[in-house]
Chains A and B, each alone.
Chain A
Amino acid sequence: EAQVTQNPRYLITVTGKKLTVTCSQNMNHEYMSWYRQDPGLGLRQIYYSMNVEVTDKGDVPEGYKVSRKEKRNFPLILESPSPNQTSLYFCASSFPDAPLHFGNGTRLTVT
Chain B
Amino acid sequence: AQSVAQPEDQVNVAEGNPLTVKCTYSVSGNPYLFWYVQYPNRGLQFLLKYITGDNLVKGSYGFEAEFNKSQTSFHLKKPSALVSDSALYFCAVRDIPPSRGGSYIPTFGRGTSLIVHP
Most B C-beta atoms less than 10 A away, residue of A42, A58, A104: A42
Report yes or no: A99 in contact with B105, Cβ–Cβ below 8 A.
no
Chain B 74-118 against A: per-residue CB contact (8 Å), 1 yes, 0 no? Answer: 000000000000000010001001110000111011110000000
Tell whether A31 is near chain B: CB-to-CB under 8 Å. Answer: yes
Q: Are A90 and B49 in contact (CB under 8 A)?
A: no
Q: Is the pair B99, A96 in contact by a Cβ cutoff of 8 Å?
A: yes
Which residues from chain A contact B36 at a C-beta distance below 8 Å? 99-100, 102
Query: A19: shortest Cβ distance to chain B, in Å?
Result: 20
What are the residues of chain B within 8 A of A31 when measuring CB–CB?
A: 104
Residues of A with C-beta under 8 A to B111: 42-43
Q: With A42-B108, A50-B104 known to touch, is A97 a contact of B43 (CB < 8 Å)?
A: no
Q: Is residue A105 within 8 Å, beta carbon to beta carbon, of the partner chain? A: yes
Task: Verify if B51 is at the interface (C-beta below 8 Å from A).
Answer: yes
Is the pair B46, A99 in contact by a Cβ cutoff of 8 Å?
A: yes
Interface check B71, CB cutoff 8 A: no
Main secondary structure, interface of A, reads strand
A48 within 8 A of B: yes
Residues from chain A with Cβ under 8 Å of B97 in the complex: 96-97
- Taking a contact as CB atoms under 8 Å apart, the answer to whether A90 and B34 are in contact is no
Chain B nearest Cβ from A43, distance in angstroms:
4
Number of residues of chain A lying within 8 A (CB) of chain B: 23
| Contacts A97-B32, A105-B42 given; does A45 touch B110 at CB 8 Å | no
Q: Are B42 and A104 in contact (CB under 8 A)?
A: yes
Task: Name which residue of chain A comes closest to B103, CB basis.
Answer: A50
CA distance A31 to B97 in the complex (A): 12
Distance between Cα atoms of A100 and B41 in the complex (Å):
18
Determine the distance from Cα of A111 to Cα of B34 in the docked complex, in whole angstroms. 36
B56 interface hit (Cβ, 8 Å)? no
Interchain Cβ contacts under 8 Å between A and B, 16 examples: A4-B43, A40-B110, A42-B90, A42-B111, A43-B44, A43-B111, A90-B43, A96-B97, A96-B99, A96-B104, A97-B32, A97-B51, A99-B34, A104-B41, A105-B42, A105-B43
